[in-house]
Amino acid sequence: MNNDKPVTTIVFDVNETLLDITSLEPLFERLFGDPAVMREWFAQLILYSQTLTLSGIYTPFGKLAGGTLRMIGTTRGVAISDGDIAELADRIGTMPAHADAVPALTRLRDAGFRLVTLTNSASAAQPTPLERAGLAEFFERSFSIETVGKFKPAPETYRHIADAMKLETSQLCLVACHLWDTIGAQAAGCRGALVTRPHNALLPAPEVPVPDLFAPDLGDLAEQIAGRWNFA
């Protein structure tokens, strides 16, 4: 990987990294009597998004999210209605920001970094989830994988940002709370910074790329990023 050029641009994952997906739990508690089923649903959603990409197939993330909910319902013997799917979509579109998001984004913006987002979700109607959460003002651009028709961690998703911004991939640092995302970014030539939110951690196994930086919250990670590349 070419890491000669300094990082100038921080690429943020959105769902769970910036926006709090635990706000979806009431729906799963109502449907299944257990809010923890949300984690099963999310894991299956990511699994099948990656499966589709490996198989050369694409369907919008929102449609896949609804289909995954119906699949979980089938395996658990719970009927999922169109209204349940609509509630899921509404909750996904109105997830609140994590409390550490605004301070971290402010720190990085003030340090002179360019800030963008990259999400598996398709482009949203106005207002966007980031606008609803009060975070959109921090970002120069918001990228969706729908442009390349492949889900993260396909290398094309990260390289598309570099191409669009006329940068080398080594000038990008992906911030995410999912190790599979930072692994994909690093494999594509980017730097990786992991925020170890609950249910996310390092994977101690041979040949698994360790993130360039990692921390338990975005504030700590932002300080590490600013100190590591000293862009300002």
193 pairs with which residues across the strands? 175, 213
Judge whether 105 and 226 are in contact, CB under 8 Å: no
Mean pLDDT of 137-144: 96
Whether the per-residue pLDDT at 125 is higher than 80: the answer is no
Judge whether 142 and 130 are in contact, CB under 8 Å: yes
Cα separation, 204 vs 180, in Å, equals 13
Cα separation, 121 vs 144, in Å, equals 6
CATH number of 9-19+95-229: 3.40.50.1000
Read off φ and ψ for residue 114, nearest 5 degrees: -80, 140
Q: What is the pLDDT of residue 4?
A: 63
Whether the per-residue pLDDT at 123 is higher than 90: the answer is no
Mean pLDDT of 109-135: 92
Cα separation, 50 vs 152, in Å, equals 7
Torsion sign (Cα): 39, 42, 46, 51:
positive
pLDDT per position as a tens digit, 143-162: 999 999 999 999 999 999 99
Per the confidence metrics, is the pTM higher than 0.85? yes
Task: Give the start-to-end residue ranges of the domains of the chain.
Answer: 9-19+95-229, 21-93
pLDDT per position as a tens digit, 19-69: 999 999 999 999 999 999 999 999 999 999 999 999 999 999 999 999 999
**Nearest residue to 118 (alpha-carbon basis) of 159, 88, 60:** 159
| Domain 21-93, CATH homologous superfamily name and number | Putative phosphatase; domain 2 (1.10.150.240)
**Nearest residue to 120 (alpha-carbon basis) of 82, 158, 85, 77:** 158
Cα separation, 41 vs 206, in Å, equals 28
Cα separation, 66 vs 60, in Å, equals 10
Whether the per-residue pLDDT at 3 is higher than 70: the answer is no
For residue 18, the SS3 value is: coil
Q: What is the pLDDT of residue 230?
A: 73
- Assign 2 a pLDDT band (cuts: 50, 70, 90): very low
Cα separation, 88 vs 9, in Å, equals 32
Helices (H), the chain: 25-32, 37-54, 61-76, 82-93, 101-110, 129-132, 155-164, 179-187, 218-229
